[in-house]
Amino acid sequence: MWSQCVGLFFIGTFLALSKGDSVHTNNWAVIVCSSRYWFNYRHVSNALSIYRSVKRLGIPDSQIILMLADDIACNARNPLPGTIFNSAGERLNVYGDDVEVDYRGYEVTVENVIRVLTGRVPSDTPRSKRLLSDERSNVLVYLTGHGGNGFLKFQDSEEIANVELADAFEQMWQKRRYHEIFFITDTCQAVSMYEKFYSPNILAAASSQVGQDLLVSHNADLEIGVYMIDRFTYYTLRFLERVTPTSQATVAHLFHSYDPSLVMSQPGFRTDLFRRDVGK
């Protein structure tokens, strides 16, 4: 499949292996929902929706690290046990039989995220909980939850700071754990999470500017009683669902696809650390 993905860029293109490309040979994804509690249903849905999309585009579960801080599907308040939906109308269950959660509940900590990224996990950590990337890997890192200026909250008990994340990416670079990183975050004041990055070959997209909180989510469901997905991730998925192995879509097309009047925030993007032209 990957040898056919010539010219594709976004998750299809960023993660595509071009013919004759000896530098980029494999793809990984680290997908993190850092929120607990029923009212944060949308954050779990965000993460599972991205998980579903990257699997559709060809990354196997063996190369995806999925971290969910709460088991919303089995929450006692869920009127439809064993399901998580990302749309009130279509009722697409993103928590199907083929979902493999690698870190769940209280395993989803700042320490474990840093350890996964940097490879500094205990020796008895199973392969399924390891990011076994190398200098030929393109890595998607997606974070969603509650955040503020320079931090993302984990389970209402701790925070990861933007400088910690920046230093973790630098460790990855120094240890040859990636070729390119695509960092996406959907949270309040999300741009602040990539402001401190300084390592090469990182492309970043964020749902909101510093000082901007996400006050209106998408797809409220009256039966379930919560919002089902955040707007930035919803419109990211709308773009992703049109991407195929033969698409000519570029990351510039993705960036231009966000309408602030629909997203209800001003997304931000960072390309200065990235060596390639995002329009090609």
For the annotated catalytic residues, the residue numbers are 146, 188
What's the CA gap between 92 and 84, in Å, rounded? 8
- Quote the tokens at residue 17: 């292996």
Which residues fall within 8 angstroms of residue 81, CB to CB, at 6 or more apart? 73, 74
Per DSSP, 74 falls in state G
Q: Do the Cβ atoms of 147 and 188 come closer than 8 Å?
A: yes
C-alpha of 123 from chain center:
26
HSE-up of residue 241 (Cα within 13 Å, Cβ side): 8
Q: Which residues pair with 12 in a beta bridge?
A: none
How many other C-beta atoms can be found within 10 angstroms of the C-beta atom of residue 239?
Answer: 18
Which H helix or E strand runs over 171?
helix 162-174
Q: Do the Cβ atoms of 227 and 234 come closer than 8 Å?
A: no
Question: Exposed (0-12), middle (13-18) or buried (19+): which is 260, by Cβ within 10 Å?
Answer: exposed
Which residues fall within 8 angstroms of residue 252, CB to CB, at 6 or more apart? 278, 279
Amino acid 62 reads S
